[in-house]
Amino acid sequence: MTFGILGSGSWGTAIAKILTDNGNTIYWWNRSEAHIKYIKERHHNPQYLPGAHLDVSKLKLSTNPAEVITNSDCIVVVIPSAFADNALRGLDRNIFAGKKIISAIKGILPESNLLLNEYLSEAFGVELKNYFAVLGPCHAEEVAAEKLSYLTFSGIDKLATHDIASRFKTDYLNTVENDDIYGVQYAAVLKNIYAIGSGIAHGLDYGDNFLSVFIANCADEMAGFLKKAGIKNVEVGHTELRGTAEDHRANNYAASVYLGDLLVTCYSLHSRNRAFGNMIGKGYSVKAAQLEMSMVAEGYNASKCMHQINQKIKADMPIATTVFQILWEHLPAAEGFNRIEENLV
């Protein structure tokens, strides 16, 4: 199986390291000829994760996304959700025919309020059986440092999901598998919104005691949305064994890809969404915080997308709604968190 990677930011670089460390030759799209030249000469990405050594003998770098897709059996899409439509627009509608697509995007495409699988289905006719999602908790910086991390792979074709997951497993990366494609993607979108909220709280000088209660309520709110949206695996503490002892327990929302990813994104200093929220809490405008950040905070656009999606779902989401109002409707952060305080249990 030959892999292609669309996206060369922190997470794209981390995935390139994982796959090449496992001996896979990969095609990798990078917009910049200068960056490609630098990677070939210096064996690391000049802009992202400069400490991550890359085996360039296994890299086939290109500024042409169509070339990467055409030469790959399995394409990892790791473009920030805000730029995915623009990056893929103009490609031949049949270019993904016969390919497996792995989404490493943790957001919703803001132009259409669609998850990547929904967008690819509409624009390129990609069937859900050929679509897989890979999610954390897994900060790119810790992968670069080879600190033990976990990735969850979701797909409705269990054999293909297992095959793909096995290509990523290393001494520093464990893999988990499930078939909850919509659940893991929505959870990844929501945790970024809540991480911005966590950062805002920190910027407003709330302490750890408050944050623990805040995040616990975020987890409950997230599970409530997912249940209302018809997603399975909402039970917490349900741990039936599947098959042999080597199998993982049945996934629920206390599992790593749901609660674990929420916790690390809300607490970690590596979290760009938390950092973005922290600036908002300290009084930065949204524009000023965006200019200060060198990377995209997915939760910003996601807060508006999920607010609009929830107009149909009608889940009770006071925390996510307040974060949206702070970011998009100019609600003062302190006033917003006074409201949130009244809803926490």
Please tell me the least confidently modeled range out of 101-105, 293-297, 339-343.
293-297
Q: Report the pLDDT value the prediction gives residue 245, as an integer from 0 to 100.
A: 40
Confidence of residue 234 (pLDDT cuts 50, 70, 90): low
Residues 29 and 120 in one domain: yes
127: left (phi over 0), alpha (psi -120 to 50) or beta: beta
Distance separating alpha carbons of residues 169 and 225, to the nearest angstrom: 31
Residue percentage of the chain with pLDDT more than 70: 93
Cβ(120)–Cβ(101) below 8 Å? yes
Question: Structural domain tally of the chain?
Answer: 2
Residues 80 and 100 in one domain: yes
Residues 44 and 144 in one domain: yes
Angle between helical axes of 318-328 and 181-203 (0-180°, round to 10): 60
- Long-range contacts at 222-227 (CB < 8 A, ≥ 24 apart): 222/187, 222/190, 222/191, 222/194, 222/253, 222/258, 222/262, 223/253, 223/258, 224/315, 224/316, 224/317, 225/186, 225/190, 225/310, 225/313, 225/315, 225/317, 225/320, 226/183, 226/186, 226/187, 226/253
Domain limit, last residue, from 151, 179, 207: 179
Mean local confidence (pLDDT), 59-69: 96
Domain limit, last residue, from 179, 205, 223: 179
Residues 196 and 172 in one domain: no
Residues 103 and 226 in one domain: no
Distance separating alpha carbons of residues 199 and 291, to the nearest angstrom: 17
**C-alpha distance across the termini of the chain, in Å:** 49
Domain limit, last residue, from 179, 212, 245: 179
Distance separating alpha carbons of residues 251 and 276, to the nearest angstrom: 30
Domain range for 313 is: 183-343
Residue with tokens 């990735």: 151
Q: Report the pLDDT value the prediction gives residue 303, as an integer from 0 to 100.
A: 96
Residues 112 and 135 in one domain: yes
CATH assignment of the domain containing 228:
1.10.1040.10
CATH assignment of the domain containing 95:
3.40.50.720
Q: Report the pLDDT value the prediction gives residue 13, as an integer from 0 to 100.
A: 94
Residues 151 and 241 in one domain: no
- For the cut 60, the answer to whether the pLDDT of residue 243 exceeds it is no
For residue 128, give the DSSP letter. Answer: G
